[in-house]
Structure 1
Amino acid sequence: MLVTNDLKQRAEAASQHVATVYNGNELTYEQLWTRAQRLAAHLQKRYKKGDIVALFLINSDDLLVAYYGIQLAGLTVMPVNTKLAVPEIAYIFEHSQARVLIYDEALRDKALATTHMFDETIVRGGVNELQAILDDEQLTYEPYDMDPDEMAVVMYTSGTTGKPKGVMLSQRNVYEAAAIWSQSMQMTEHDRMFICTPLFHCAGLQVFAVPTLHAGGTVVISEAFSPESTLQELVDTDATIFFGVPAMYMILLSRDDTKTLSFPHLRLFCYGAAPMPYEMVRKLKDTFPNVRVQNLYGQTENSPAASSLLDEDALTKIGSVGKPLPKTHIQIVDEYGQPLRVGAVGEIAVKGPQVMLGYLRNEEETARALRDGWLLSGDLGRFDDEGFLYIVDRKKDMILRGGENVYPIEVEEALYEMPEILEAAVVGIPHEIYGEVPKAYVVLKEGVALTDDDIIAHCKTRLASYKVPAVIEYLNELPRNASGKVLKHTLRPTAIN
């Protein structure tokens, strides 16, 4: 029940099989295992079980080395979103009480801009303290007897209060998620998973990278998605599986390369994080007739693994996120947690060995989200007569911008920091590339002037760029009901980009 045991077994049984490819550099399973052990040896001399190590890294093979090495040491790994603004990062560092920071030299200014005091910081690149540790043959790892129910990973996800919540995942959670997705995608040691989405995200790390290594395959790592080069990289690296949000597929399908390049090894396109329109799915299948497609649904709180729509149903069950994954139970429940009949709309509840331990230092939110082993997702959905799950709406007004979660209250709080703004409300509006983008409705105080550029410049100092309003509209007042609550549903129909 440990992903570190997976890695050890692969290193022993297939030591020279390639585990990762990054910038043309290959690491075998033996090399990945050795490097992870050295980092573990360095850490275990200084820290104790439960201590948190923050990773502030761009995509690289070192990120996966650190992921396994930290867990080998009996510590908790915490990947942090490098796109966040400094105040957001500062909150995560402080709330988690992280003791160690491993960061990229390219991200130094942002990584070290907070006042949080780490016991140790380790830089990758530049003087490259991380490389020195990974190359140190004198470091000897002392095997640690891990409990599968110990906390292995913490991943912060935005909350409805505007403050991120630290999702605690156990050793068992991450192992089961790896096994579940590996089985669902029928991964083998021959697969080469191409990852260009961020590895600090739960999807890139827990749905694709770790399951691939669980199956003994190869993780091909790209720093980021590129409209110009990603297609060619898929060819050059002999990739067999690719994951992207719908916006990525839209961009790739618009390029002439799709007609001129040959992809003999590709077998599976995975997509998720936002709905994929029927025409895009059809075009994807027409353009790549030998490549299957698979839609994935889950949340950080379930590692993330809930349901999947397979290729054979991709065009007949458009809008569905498929059926529950192996070992996973899904119910549609009412406000009291009672199951509803087929076809009725209610909250999606998920149960399985991949469901989180809870939220770090947040018993109140944990009690709200977990009931008798069931995770209340916050998404509203329904089942059809054939057992296919459909997401109807998001209970908490979350905006999905190109696969990134944006909670309106976070943006609204940033707007309210501006003294010129009297009121603000943020909703998601349709966007042809990103699926949704934030739109801000703003009421200015009497006698003051403010431009779109002023608001955007302010938001960029408080928020990640993807959370900054894409559209701003000025109103004399916000629509409210008799109790004073803003009626966002009356704003959405007119929110046209």
Structure 2
Amino acid sequence: MLVTSRLQKFVERDGAAIATHFNGKELSYEQFYIRATRLAAYLQQQGYGKGDIVALVLQNSDDLLVSYYGVQLAGATVMPVNTKLAVPEIDYIFKHSEAKVLIYDEALASKVVATTHPFEERLVREGEATLEQVLSNEGLQYSAYSMDADEMAVVMYTSGTTGKPKGVMLSQRNIFEAAEIWTQSMRMTNEDRMYICTPLFHCAGLQVFAVPTLHVGGTVIISEAFSPATTLEDLVNTEATMFFGVPAMYTILLNRPDTKTLNFTKLRLFCYGAAPMPYEMVKKLKETFPHVRVQNLYGQTENSPAATSLLDEDALEKIGSVGKPLPKTAVRVVNTLGEEVPIGEVGEITVKGPQVMLGYLRNPEETSRTIQQGWLYSGDLGRFDDNGYLYIVDRKKDMINRGGENVYPIEVEDVLYQIPQILEAAVVGVPHEVYGEVPKAYVVLKEGEHISEEAILAYAFERLAKYKVPAEVAYLDELPRNASGKVLKHTLRPTT
């Protein structure tokens, strides 16, 4: 039940197999494991172990994954931190977690230096190269630590889109089971080469793709970031078999004129999540890459993340659905009393399974509200159809109450996405003196396109009940997003 033991298994089975590919450098499973055990040995030598939190402020790299495993091999808890946060936000996470050790990129030194949390130990990547000195030190001797499966292994802070970030505590059992669940759902094998350009400090890139790939003996191809100019070529040149992106990435890639001219014979699976994928985009993706399967993934940090998935065969038939519950996972839709609602009715999505978190770090009150009788209350509103497919209606906190009528922004956004000129859309509630609040749409137009507010509203009136139609439309150059690609709707709402 340990991902570290699973890693060791592949070292013993085929240590020469390639574990990671980053910036032209490859690490075999043996090389990867040796570097991880050296970090573990160093931490042990310094007196760190069970319960001690090691913060990683690292950009995408093979060192990030080595550090992720190395900290756990030492028996300590690893905490990847969102590098895109502002200094006060990062400092809050440092202080709240009471992290003792910091491993960071020299490129991010200005942010780190500006924080005030007193770390006991700091290792910098590049520059002084103190991290590399540890990872390449042959004199460090590792003492194997037998971690209990239910010990806290990882802490990942939520994005804080609706308030202060919360530290999600994940056990070895949680991340092991999530890896088992996803490798089964995505039919992963040691032949897979997973291309990751989304942030590895985020739960999706790390827990859904990187760890599961290493869990089956495959290769993690790490890109520093998504690039409209080079990502497609990288997928070809690295012979990637799998790719994960948020819908905005697919929109950019599908609008490139040379997409159909590149040779993607190795690719077998496109995964997407974090936001809804409009029907037209899924259709275009399947038409452009007819031999590549598509799969929608749904989960949240609190369930490692793993809840449901929509497979390729249902991608166009069940558009808007996030699929059916994953293996080992139960999903219910409940009312405010915790009772299951009838099929088709909207309620809060709850999840139960071995991947559900231990709780929130130093926050027992929020833990008791979120986990009740083993069920994780997701904060997402959804409904099941007659065939057992789950549909996300919206975030519970995003629902708009217009004069007693519930308006679900996703429903309105789905209609706006059907307008050919619109690239992206987000709908939020804004104050209204009569109705309390009304929907307002923010749209991003495709390059070179024009459409008036009147035309957008006329289109919406033909397809939505009157109370769901936005009261106004605003135009943006881009939607505000967090590192995982989710739209930061709270920044679009009026502050007063």
Shift of 1:256: 1.7
SS in 2 for 1:296: strand
Shift of 1:145: 1.3
Structure 1 distance, partners of 2:22, 2:427, is 32
Q: Tell me, yes or no, if the aligned pair for 1:274 and 1:435 is still in contact at 8 Å.
A: no
Amino acid in the other structure paired with 1:14: D
Amino acid in the other structure paired with 2:35: R
Amino acid in the other structure paired with 2:15: S
Shift of 1:97: 0.4
**Does residue 24 of the first structure (1) align with residue 49 of the second (2)?**
no
**Does residue 479 of the first structure (1) align with residue 432 of the second (2)?**
yes
SS in 2 for 1:290: coil
Q: Tell me, yes or no, if the aligned pair for 2:398 and 2:428 is still in contact at 8 Å.
A: no
Q: 1:390 to 1:133 in 2, by over 3 A?
A: same
**Does residue 8 of the first structure (1) align with residue 4 of the second (2)?**
no
Structure 1 distance, partners of 2:25, 2:212, is 21
Q: Tell me, yes or no, if the aligned pair for 2:428 and 2:440 is still in contact at 8 Å.
A: no
Structure 2 distance, partners of 1:368, 1:315, is 36
| Percent identity of paired positions between Structure 1 and Structure 2 | 69
SS in 2 for 1:197: coil
Structure 1 distance, partners of 2:32, 2:174, is 22
Q: 1:110 to 1:398 in 2, by over 3 A?
A: farther
**Aligned runs of 1:277-292 on 2, under 5 Å?**
277-292=278-293
Shift of 1:438: 8.1
**Aligned runs of 1:80-479 on 2, under 5 Å?**
80-159=81-160, 162-397=163-398, 432-433=422-423, 435-436=425-426, 478-479=431-432
Name the residue aligned to 2:471.
494
Shift of 1:259: 1.6
Query: Which whole-Å deviations, capped at 9, do the CAs of 1:256-310 have from their partners, x for residues lacking one?
Result: 2212111110000000001001110010000000000000000000000000000
Q: Tell me, yes or no, if the aligned pair for 2:432 and 2:438 is still in contact at 8 Å.
A: no
Amino acid in the other structure paired with 2:360: Y
Structure 1 distance, partners of 2:268, 2:152, is 35
Structure 2 distance, partners of 1:206, 1:241, is 15
Query: Which whole-Å deviations, capped at 9, do the CAs of 1:325-362 have from their partners, x for residues lacking one?
Result: 00000000111111112111100000000000000000
Structure 1 distance, partners of 2:93, 2:425, is 27
Shift of 1:490: 4.9
Structure 2 unaligned spans of 5+: 401-412, 442-469, 476-496
Q: 1:250 to 1:157 in 2, by over 3 A?
A: same
Amino acid in the other structure paired with 2:327: P
SS in 2 for 1:112: helix
Structure 2 distance, partners of 1:192, 1:158, is 28
Shift of 1:433: 4.7
Amino acid in the other structure paired with 1:20: T
Q: Tell me, yes or no, if the aligned pair for 2:427 and 2:440 is still in contact at 8 Å.
A: no
Shift of 1:397: 2.3
Structure 2 distance, partners of 1:51, 1:183, is 32
SS in 2 for 1:108: helix
Q: Tell me, yes or no, if the aligned pair for 1:329 and 1:351 is still in contact at 8 Å.
A: yes
SS in 1 for 2:114: coil
Shift of 1:47: 1.1
Q: 1:495 to 1:15 in 2, by over 3 A?
A: farther
Structure 1 distance, partners of 2:62, 2:416, is 36
Name the residue aligned to 1:39.
39
Q: 1:29 to 1:360 in 2, by over 3 A?
A: same
SS in 1 for 2:148: coil
Structure 2 distance, partners of 1:121, 1:487, is 51
Q: Tell me, yes or no, if the aligned pair for 1:178 and 1:210 is still in contact at 8 Å.
A: yes
Query: Which whole-Å deviations, capped at 9, do the CAs of 1:92-126 have from their partners, x for residues lacking one?
Result: 01000000110000010012211100001110011
Q: 1:261 to 1:181 in 2, by over 3 A?
A: same
Shift of 1:480: 5.6
Amino acid in the other structure paired with 1:284: L
Structure 1 distance, partners of 2:472, 2:134, is 52
Structure 1 distance, partners of 2:93, 2:252, is 33
Shift of 1:158: 3.7
Q: Tell me, yes or no, if the aligned pair for 1:160 and 1:396 is still in contact at 8 Å.
A: no
Name the residue aligned to 2:80.
79
SS in 1 for 2:259: helix
SS in 2 for 1:30: helix
Amino acid in the other structure paired with 2:20: T
Structure 1 unaligned spans of 5+: 400-426, 442-477
SS in 1 for 2:154: strand
Kindly tell me the number of residue pairs found equivalent between the two proteins.
428
Shift of 1:127: 1.0
- Provide the alpha-carbon RMSD of the alignment: 2.0
Structure 2 distance, partners of 1:435, 1:89, is 29
Q: Tell me, yes or no, if the aligned pair for 1:272 and 1:296 is still in contact at 8 Å.
A: yes
SS in 1 for 2:432: coil
Q: Tell me, yes or no, if the aligned pair for 2:91 and 2:116 is still in contact at 8 Å.
A: yes
SS in 2 for 1:186: coil
Shift of 1:160: 7.0
